[in-house]
Amino acid sequence: MLKFILKRLVLLIPTLLGVITLVFFMIALAPGDPARVMLGERANAEQLAQLRSELGLDQPLSKQYLLYIGRVLRGDLGKSIVTQQKITDELSARLPATIELAITATIFASILGIVLGVAAARRRNSWVDYSTMTGSLVGVSMPVFWLALVLIMIFSVGLDLLPTGGRMDVRLYFKPITNYYLIDGIIMWFREGNSDYFVSALKHIILPTVALGTIPLAIIARTTRSNMLDVLNQDYVKTARAAGVPEGKVVFRYALRNALLPVITVIGIQFGMLLSGAILTETIFAWPGIGKWIYHSIGARDFPAVQGGILFISFFFVVINLVVDLLYSVINPRIRLK
């Protein structure tokens, strides 16, 4: 097992180098002069040249590239043009909000998706099956920004049940402890016996979770259904039934464990996509995470910030894929032992 992990870690190196390269050239070759953007239209040639040399933009592209790799390896993503803060600090301040939302959305999508998928497979060609599959087709086809706005219109504006945006009611002031507000809310609950923080954090996260989780939910439900249908026809399911194992155990222990193998890969990829693809959702719900920050950085032509943000998210995506692979090998003995 240790050997397997080491092997996967070594394979991570070329992948990450590839990501760095892609991100660097994507930004470096994009039209527009960063120095001009930073200094504005009225800057003179001398000022521009000075800033270019400060940023290393006067060097040949190949040298810039090597310098960039060197900096990234040292964990230096540069400074934001707009705020003059280190990009790593900006990212780490916003990361908890993004992760929190991605986790709740993944949990929402996985649990509901697996339950619906199994139900649809067990009652194939019944109304449960048809409505689940139609619903998931609609879910997959729905643009996130549209769904988010509809959710706000119904639950915030219409029914006035849930807030339109933010992470917590502004009237509830508190000093974040872990920066994961749901966890902070629970801590405050224990510490002060006041559940308001937790309830508020929960209310704020519901709509973004549903908006962000709907597409993964639909994908997971469909994948679970088709895998479950396949597995329920396998000989070993027949063997378990012939051995008198109760039907519930046959479905949820013997069949589901096999059917979930591919689903777990899907969930992992979806989780990675949620981390990177939450730009629209975070922007609409004013969720102060990395997605919203990248959106604003793009608007402000903050090149180092965009570069750093994309690089960071890509790293995250690659690492999460690795974790999923390792997890996969834990539940699938055929991979582990080869």
Partner 1 sequence: MTDTATAAAATRTGELLGIDNLSVSFHTRRGVVKAVRNLNLNIREGETLALVGESGCGKSVTAHAITRLVPMPPGVIESGIIRFRGTDLLSLPEKEMRALRGSKISMIFQEPMTSLNPVFTVGAQIAEVFITHEKLGKKEAFARAAELLNLVKIPDPVKRAKSYPHQLSGGMRQRAMIAMALASPEPGLMIADEPTTALDVTIQAQILQLLSELKERVGMALLLITHDMGVVAETADRVAVMYAGRKVEDAPVVDLFANPRHPYTAGLLGCQCSAPSNRNAARLTSINGSVPDLLTLGEGCPFANRCDNVKDECMESFPDISKAGEEHEFRCHNPIPGPGASI
- Which of 261, 326 has the CB closer to partner 1? 261
DSSP H or E run through 3: helix 2-28
Those residues with Cβ within 8 angstroms of residue 120's Cβ, 6 or more apart along the chain or in another chain: 128, 129, 132, 133, 221, 225
What amino acid occupies position 67? L
- Which of 143, 246 has the CB closer to partner 1? 246
Residue 303 tokens, joined: 């090149």
- Which of 175, 334 has the CB closer to partner 1? 334
In three-state secondary structure terms, 72 is helix
CB 221, min distance to partner 1, A: 22
Those residues with Cβ within 8 angstroms of residue 302's Cβ, 6 or more apart along the chain or in another chain: 80, 81, 82
CB 116, min distance to partner 1, A: 23
- Which of 36, 122 has the CB closer to partner 1? 122
258 counts as binding partner 1 under rule CB under 8 A: yes
Alpha-carbon distance of 148 to 282, in angstroms, equals 10
CB 205, min distance to partner 1, A: 34
Alpha-carbon distance of 285 to 163, in angstroms, equals 9
Q: What is the size of the binding site for partner 1 (CB under 8 A)?
A: 21
CB 239, min distance to partner 1, A: 5
- Which of 25, 236 has the CB closer to partner 1? 236
- Which of 195, 332 has the CB closer to partner 1? 332
Binding characters for partner 1, 309-338, by CB under 8 A (x = yes): ----------------------xxxx--x-
Binding characters for partner 1, 214-253, by CB under 8 A (x = yes): --------------------xxx-xxxxxxxxx-------
Measured distance between the N- and C-terminal CA atoms of the chain, rounded to whole angstroms: 10
Binding characters for partner 1, 80-119, by CB under 8 A (x = yes): ----------------------------------------
190 counts as binding partner 1 under rule CB under 8 A: no
Residue 144 tokens, joined: 């996130």
CB 328, min distance to partner 1, A: 11
Alpha-carbon distance of 216 to 273, in angstroms, equals 9
Residue 60's region, left for phi above 0, alpha for psi from -120 to 50, else beta, is beta
- Local structure of residue 142 (DSSP, 8 states): S
Q: What is the dihedral of CA 90, 93, 99, 105, to 10 degrees?
A: -90
- Which of 245, 298 has the CB closer to partner 1? 245
CB 129, min distance to partner 1, A: 14
Q: What is the dihedral of CA 79, 85, 87, 92, to 10 degrees?
A: 170
Which positions lie near partner 1, rule CB under 8 A?
234-236, 238-246, 254, 257-258, 261, 331-334, 337
